[in-house]
Structure 1
Amino acid sequence: MLRTALRNVLAHKARLLMTVLAVMLGVAFVSGTLVFTNTISAAYQKSSEKGFDGVDVAITPHKSDSGSGVPGPTPRLSQQVLDKAAKVPGAASATGVVKGFTALADRNGEMLGDGFSTLGGNYYPGPDGKDPRYTLTEGRAPKAAGEIALDSKSAEKGHYKAGDTIRVSVNGPVRTEKISGVFTTDDGNVAAGGSLALYDNATAQKLFAKPGQFDEIDVKAAAGTSQAALKSAVDKVLPQDAEAATGQKLADDQAEQIKQGMSSMQTAMLVFAGIALFVGIFIIANTFTMLVAQRTKELALMRAVGASRRQVTRSVLIEATAVGAVAAVVGMAAGVGIGAGLRSLLSSTGATVPDGPLVIEPTTVLASLLVGVVVTVLAAWLPGRRAAKIPPVAAMSSVHAAPTTRGLVVRNTIGALLGAAGVALVLYGSGQGMDGKGPMAFGAAVLVIGVFVLTPLLSRPLIAAAAPVLRLFGMSGKLARQNAVRNPRRTAATASALMVGLTLITGMTVIAGSVQKGIDQMASDGLKSDYVVSMGGAGGAPRPLSPDVAKKLEKQPEVTAVSPLRQAPAKIGGKTDSLTGVNPKAIKQLVGVDFLDGSFSGFGGQKVVVDDKTADSNHWKVGSAVPVTYQDGRSAKLTVGGVYEGNQMIRGVMVDAATITPHMATVTDFQVMLKTKGGATEANKDALTKALGDNPALQVQNKKDISDGIAKLFTLMLNMLYGLLAMAVIVAVLGVINTLAMSVFERSQEIGMLRAIGLDRRGIKRMVRLESLVISLFGGVLGIGLGVFFGWAAGELISTGLSTYELVLPWGRMGLFLAMAAFVGVLAALWPARRAAKLNMLESIKAE
């Protein structure tokens, strides 16, 4: 049986090529994903480890509230701690570290560092006058205010050298600094595409901390002293509000963070690899169904001479194992190329990736081989089992047996139950808010399986609906329709492959378009301001903005109203939170909020307005007294003057900025809102940008800019999704080709007869193409329908957190997806149609 199975593999090389391609693509995606993420993760880990080469023990302040629970100023380390650390037994040196946001402008005024990590720091010279963290390659270290040293990568990007001047922004106002030198560094942020500017220690402390204070202290061990021994010595001199960790632990922690950060990307990419493999299962099952059908008589003879059902099934599975192993090896090799290509693609987009070799771990090889073989064997098991069940006499008298009525009834009943359960779970999840994510995801999976099981039943009425159009093509159209429904199970498996991909694409497109419409509406309803000014850079927490920005904007002739948004940590009603300081005279002109109770009337001084959720959670209403402990420890009572309906843009406790400013350790804003004469115009935007010194770090955005910025994220996500799902569509194309090739093989005698009675080669080609088109459009209609349903259901969840969410059906894109399904059908039919037209008429008639 083993020899027979292997001979059968070699005897059907052309048809098995389809299966090999399908499995290979899925495996290549899996191995490519693992190679890419492992390579990038290893490169970043190696880079981060280099950054800790000069750090044996790092001292950092406790990042927590003071013992009284009052939000205190950002914790720092004093010069006294640094001096004590430098003198502990086993310490060779101690370096004080200060860092903060610093934007650098290139020659064109654009920000260097791509917003990834735009940092400034201190050059802390040791006894030899050098900072061991940085190696100067040009010029000298900064020695006074007005000088900076620039990392070599940023200097190369911006075409700067020692002696040049550069425009810099730390918290808003533009500073022009002289580049005293250029240095190299192992800092992982710089290696990943960020920028780093160094000031002399006194200037850096003034900009990022306070004189005599540090964010971190790095201690270098003397020769013969271990990191653990040095940490024990340092622990003895630490104040209560500081802690120490070894450099090795910091490196390990950062490596783990990088690994976790890459795991989300890896998971997302593996999901799409799984989708490609799931779609490939249909092709594999169809291929082995075809091969088993071709060998039905052969298998019957083997049964007649003594082979058991188990041996027949085993022979099919041996073939599948051989095919899967070949596909897995080829896919693994292709995956290595994909991994290398993805890294090059990432670099070409402007992202700087640390250098490092391709990482091919044993788990990657093992996973690729297992995935290829297991998926192929699982897909081939059902056809093999079905072939073994056919009685030898029945097999000798018929090439293939039609499914029994009982079998179809059982299948349709199971499909209907699964479909109903899936719909019920999705509907239940859609009504549970964000808590319904689990039931909805499970229900979606059950519904897709249910529709797949029901597809043979659905194929007849849906394909019949195309009959009026097919009649326009005469006899070819009529035959195409009959052929499409002749074997509903095979048609269903082929259409399902396309359905899965289009379901995901359509669902994500519906969600993205609807969310974007909701965000546009929110910006329109929530913001009355013409512009919002904020610091640029990477996403995450808002960057601190100098209060001078708001003061400068107030003086501009085109500005009619200005309000800073100033956040101050405080203890409000017994809970640690923050207050948002605004200009009480201008805020009603700048935000559009609906008050549920009270208003902006009398707002200012000790009178505040709060959003509805905050008010509900604290049981506040208009007139309620709110106890507050400010950042400096002083207490006061605020009075609620209004409760408004909050949203993602405007929410929290709004208070007069003049009330909280005296209590802030460092006065900074995170945004400035303003209105201008004539509204949001290009002229006004240019005037504001010029008034702010053409600052590369400042963003002057109108409502459309804010919406477009969010839209870019969705567009990027959708484009990635489309690219990844293209793999599933390619596999689906192979599936349609496979089905048509199988159909042509089974109907060789019929095609010969059609040719004999007058249907020309062009008619044969048209018949096969129309059959392919009908099957593909059938899958496309199912996929788009399911995608719209899932998009609507997911939108019901999103609407609980985004009140302005509105379902948007992208009719244009859905039409494009349907056209893509039709194109898939036409493309897939090229080879089978040509092959059918070339069949020899007499040989086909004689074929069994």
Structure 2
Amino acid sequence: MFRTALRNVLAHKARLLMTVLAVMLGVAFVSGTLVFTNTIGDAYQKSSAKGFDQVDVAIEPEYAEDEGDTIGQEHKLTQGLLEKTAEVPGAASAIGVVNGYTAIADKDGDLMGNGFQSAGGNFWGGKDPRYPLKSGKAPRGENEVALDAETARRGGYEVGDTLRLSVDGPVLTPTISGIFTTDDGNVAAGGSLALFDTATAQKLFHQEGSYDEIDVKAEPGTSQTALRTELEKVVPGKTAYMTTGEELADQQAQQIASGMSSMKTMLLTFAGIALFVGVFIIANTFTMLVAQRTKELALMRAVGASRRQVTRSVLLEAAMIGAVAAVTGLAVGVGIGAGMRSLMGTLGAVVPEGPLVITPGTVGTALVVGVVVTMLAAWLPGRRAAKIPPVAAMSSVHAQATAKSLVLRNTLGALLSGAGVAAVLVGSQAKSASDGQIPLGLGGALLVIGVFVLTPLLSRPLIAAAAPVLRIFGVAGKLARQNSVRNPRRTAATASALMIGLTLITGLTVIAGSVQQAVDKMATSAMKADYVVGMANGNSLSPDVDKKLAAVDGVTATSPMRNTFIRVDSELTHYVTGVNGATIGELTDLEVTDGSFKVTGTNVVVDKHDAKENGWKAGSRFKAAYEDGTTQQLTVAGVYEANDLIGGMLLDNATLTPHLTSSEPADRQVMVKTSGGASDATKDRLEKALGDNPGIRVQDKQDVSNEIASMITLMLNMLYGLLAMAVIVAILGVINTLAMSVFERSQEIGMLRAIGLERGGIKRMVRMESLVISLFGGVLGIGLGVFFGWAAGELIGSSVATYELILPWARMGLFLLLAALVGVLAALWPARRAARLNMLTAIKSE
């Protein structure tokens, strides 16, 4: 049986090529994903481990909130504590670390690096072991800064150049005194790092006389655990906590692994979709191959082969095909992994250097996936062929499916589809996204499988609907329609492969378009302000920004959004936003459901969620404790509908700010209204008033909407790219089905040629058949995609008040045209092959 299987593989090389390609693409996607994520993860982990070479024990401040004396404030790591830690037994040195956000402009004035990873810090003394100088000298004073080598290379900066940068407001223009190297993982990931001398860093990052962290280096022979034990004797337990360098490296490695895990899961999900689509093609191919070899298999049964041996022969054939496809797919996958890493570089994402990682697990997964998927897909056709009695097979009386099998299939499909629809509806009505995800996902899978099972039943009426159009093409069109429904199971398997890809693409497009529309509504309905000003990385602004904006010509109202915590009735810690009570009504348009929108003095407004949770209504009073420990009676003036832009408790800054303990209040953003409305000229005036600061963004409503839209578009394009793999596999399936169908109908095609149908007619017949099958799959896919998009939208709408279902008719029409194009392109080779058949040879074929 092994020799028989090997002979069949070698004898049908051309016929099995598409099957090999389908499996190979799926395996390549899986192995490429594993190679890429393992390579990136390994590079980041090695980079992060190097970053802690100079740290044996790190001391960080505890928050004071747990003690009940102040709220949300960190204890200070003082100079005195630094000196004590340097003197403990086993400590070789101690470094005080200061860090914060530092935006660096390139030579065109634009922000460099990734906003969230644009960091600043302190250079310790004349020679910092953490940051070896590559050129120049250590920074001294407010007019000097050191820059990391990678950022200097990207920006074209050298020692002696003037650098424009911003910390939290004012623009600074220090001179680059030195360029240093670093193993900091954030820099390796595309961020930037600027270092000042310690005194300057403390002043810029509001840590005068204190540090964000103290890093202690152990003497040779002293373990990290022993050093931490000694440090515990001098470091107050309630004010700071300590972590060893090994623990820090492990924590960062786990964070990186967790981040890569999300990406790996997403990529593997789409690889699984491509393989799932490939299963239909493989099963279809083996069904046709087995059908074409029915007499051969019957003869094997007649000469003594058992059913099990026949099935085993088909499975061995599948295993050999799967092994070839798996090995080829693994090789292609390694190339995909390397290419994806290079692509990240071209897109501006800097990846730490390191070798391409091909683990035994990746190799094993590729081989198992390729072989097992192929064998599973081939098992049913092989089993079905083995059950056919030899005499019936030789006389072809087995060709038609029995009524019993059709009833069983349709009943099963209806039950699966019904269960899927029910689960999707339950998931769509869940109270929260987390509650609805599982039933929605399970229902979606059941519905897709159910529709696939029902596709042979659905094919006849849907394809019959295309009959009037096909009649235009005469005999070729009529024959194409008949051929499309001649073997409903084959048509179903071919169309289903395309259906799955278009279901996902359509569903994602519906959701993305609806979410974008909801964001637009939110931005326009909740804000009367013309501009929102904030830091590029989401950090806090200096209060000077509000003052500068208020002084600009044409600005009629401003309000900083100042965030902090208060304690309500001595028990509940509550998040509160300070606003300009006199102007906030001019800058927002929030729906008030109870009372009035009055934020002055000791009056506050709260959103409906907070009001319900605390039992508040207009007129309710409660005692609030501020950061400085002062208590005050506050009154709820009104209750409003919150959204993703504004929510929680709003309190007048005139009341809140005097009780903040920090030397300088920090604003999350500033809302601005102008007399002339939003315009390019007004925006330029605002940016110039802020010194063309690279770290501050001035955004109007359209900018806010476009930013979110660009994120959605980027995500959608990534998903389109991933789903393209499934569509490519589906195209191979259409080509494979048509090619096998042409081979199967060689005698029939020869007869058609003999009775006068020209070669052009044969080509049209095959192309029309392909077009009908593809459009059938496209219609099913778009219909299911709209249903899933609606269901997911209902779930999203439970938490986003402005969500409304938007059907992208233009894109859906484009997807249907794409399905038609797939059909036309897939038919080119089979149609040409059919037209070139020698009619006499074809008539004599069996």
Shift of 1:579: 1.2
Alignment of 1:354-753 (within 5 A): 354-398=352-396, 401-434=399-432, 435-537=435-537, 542-573=538-569, 574-601=571-598, 603-666=599-662, 667-753=665-751
Match of 1:783 among 781, 790, 806: 781
Q: Distance in 2 between matches of 1:845 and 1:673?
A: 81
Alignment of 1:46-445 (within 5 A): 46-63=46-63, 65-68=65-68, 70-125=70-125, 129-240=126-237, 241-398=239-396, 401-434=399-432, 435-445=435-445
Q: Residue 23 of structure 1 aligns with which residue?
A: 23
Shift of 1:401: 1.3
Q: Bigger shift: 70-79 or 415-424? A: 70-79
Q: Secondary structure at the match of 2:168?
A: coil
Q: Distance in 2 between matches of 1:266 and 1:399?
A: 50
Shift of 1:70: 4.0
Shift of 1:345: 0.2
Shift of 1:28: 0.3
Partners of 2:603 and 2:651 within 8 A in 1: yes
Q: Distance in 2 between matches of 1:209 and 1:186?
A: 26
Shift of 1:305: 1.4
Q: Residue 836 of structure 1 aligns with which residue?
A: 834
Partners of 2:96 and 2:211 within 8 A in 1: yes
Q: Distance in 2 between matches of 1:558 and 1:400?
A: 86
Partners of 2:61 and 2:74 within 8 A in 1: no
Q: Distance in 1 between matches of 2:338 and 2:202?
A: 43
Q: Secondary structure at the match of 2:66?
A: coil
Match of 2:764 among 763, 766, 783: 766
Q: Bigger shift: 111-120 or 547-556? A: 111-120
Shift of 1:702: 0.6
Q: Secondary structure at the match of 1:649?
A: coil
Q: Distance in 1 between matches of 2:767 and 2:740?
A: 14
Cα RMSD between the aligned structures?
Answer: 1.1
**Residue correspondences, number:** 840
Shift of 1:619: 0.4
Q: Secondary structure at the match of 1:52?
A: coil
1:795 has 2:760 as partner = no
* Post-superposition CA distance 1:550-574 (Å, at most 9, x none): 0111111110111111111222343
Q: Distance in 2 between matches of 1:399 and 1:690?
A: 86
Shift of 1:114: 2.8
Structure 2: any 5+ residue segments left out of the alignment? Answer: none
The code of the aligned residue for 1:78 comes to: T
Partners of 1:117 and 1:189 within 8 A in 2: yes
Partners of 2:98 and 2:207 within 8 A in 1: no
The code of the aligned residue for 2:416 comes to: L
Partners of 2:145 and 2:175 within 8 A in 1: yes
Partners of 2:542 and 2:667 within 8 A in 1: yes
Partners of 1:433 and 1:796 within 8 A in 2: no
Shift of 1:64: 5.8
The code of the aligned residue for 1:132 comes to: P
Q: Residue 10 of structure 2 aligns with which residue?
A: 10
Q: Report the TM-score when normalising by structure 2.
A: 0.98
Q: Distance in 1 between matches of 2:779 and 2:657?
A: 60
Q: Secondary structure at the match of 1:92?
A: strand
Q: Distance in 2 between matches of 1:477 and 1:840?
A: 22
The code of the aligned residue for 1:624 comes to: S
Partners of 2:430 and 2:436 within 8 A in 1: yes
Q: Distance in 2 between matches of 1:236 and 1:115?
A: 40
Shift of 1:282: 0.8
* Post-superposition CA distance 1:418-457 (Å, at most 9, x none): 1111111111221223222221111111111110000000
The code of the aligned residue for 1:301 comes to: L
Q: Distance in 2 between matches of 1:375 and 1:815?
A: 34
Shift of 1:116: 4.2
The code of the aligned residue for 1:613 comes to: H
Structure 1: any 5+ residue segments left out of the alignment? Answer: none
Q: Distance in 2 between matches of 1:189 and 1:222?
A: 28
Q: Distance in 2 between matches of 1:89 and 1:621?
A: 60
The code of the aligned residue for 1:568 comes to: T
Shift of 1:229: 2.0
Q: Secondary structure at the match of 1:196?
A: strand
Q: Residue 805 of structure 1 aligns with which residue?
A: 803
Distance 1:72 1:433, change over 3 A: closer
* Post-superposition CA distance 1:163-218 (Å, at most 9, x none): 22211111112122222211111111111111111111111112224222111111
Q: Which runs of 4+ in 1 moved over 3 A?
A: none
Q: Distance in 1 between matches of 2:830 and 2:354?
A: 46
Q: Bigger shift: 3-12 or 108-117? A: 108-117
The code of the aligned residue for 1:682 comes to: D
Shift of 1:90: 1.5
Shift of 1:610: 0.6
Partners of 1:116 and 1:193 within 8 A in 2: no
The code of the aligned residue for 1:114 comes to: N
Q: Distance in 2 between matches of 1:374 and 1:430?
A: 35
The code of the aligned residue for 2:780 comes to: L
The code of the aligned residue for 2:602 comes to: Q
The code of the aligned residue for 1:492 comes to: A
Q: Secondary structure at the match of 1:717?
A: helix
* Post-superposition CA distance 1:298-330 (Å, at most 9, x none): 110111111111111111001111111111111
Distance 1:72 1:515, change over 3 A: closer
Q: Secondary structure at the match of 1:543?
A: coil
Q: Distance in 1 between matches of 2:351 and 2:69?
A: 42
Partners of 1:100 and 1:208 within 8 A in 2: yes
Q: Secondary structure at the match of 2:145?
A: strand
* Post-superposition CA distance 1:680-724 (Å, at most 9, x none): 111111111111111111111011100110001110011001100
Shift of 1:755: 0.4
Sequence identity, in percent? Answer: 68
Partners of 1:104 and 1:112 within 8 A in 2: yes
The code of the aligned residue for 2:562 comes to: R
Partners of 2:115 and 2:536 within 8 A in 1: yes
Partners of 1:550 and 1:562 within 8 A in 2: yes
Q: Secondary structure at the match of 1:454?
A: helix
Q: Distance in 1 between matches of 2:530 and 2:745?
A: 69
Partners of 1:293 and 1:399 within 8 A in 2: no
Partners of 2:64 and 2:70 within 8 A in 1: no
Partners of 2:62 and 2:74 within 8 A in 1: no
* Post-superposition CA distance 1:52-81 (Å, at most 9, x none): 111111111224623117414233311122
The code of the aligned residue for 1:629 comes to: A
Q: Distance in 1 between matches of 2:304 and 2:63?
A: 78
Q: Distance in 1 between matches of 2:75 and 2:121?
A: 17
Q: Secondary structure at the match of 1:161?
A: coil
Distance 1:329 1:399, change over 3 A: farther
Distance 1:63 1:376, change over 3 A: farther
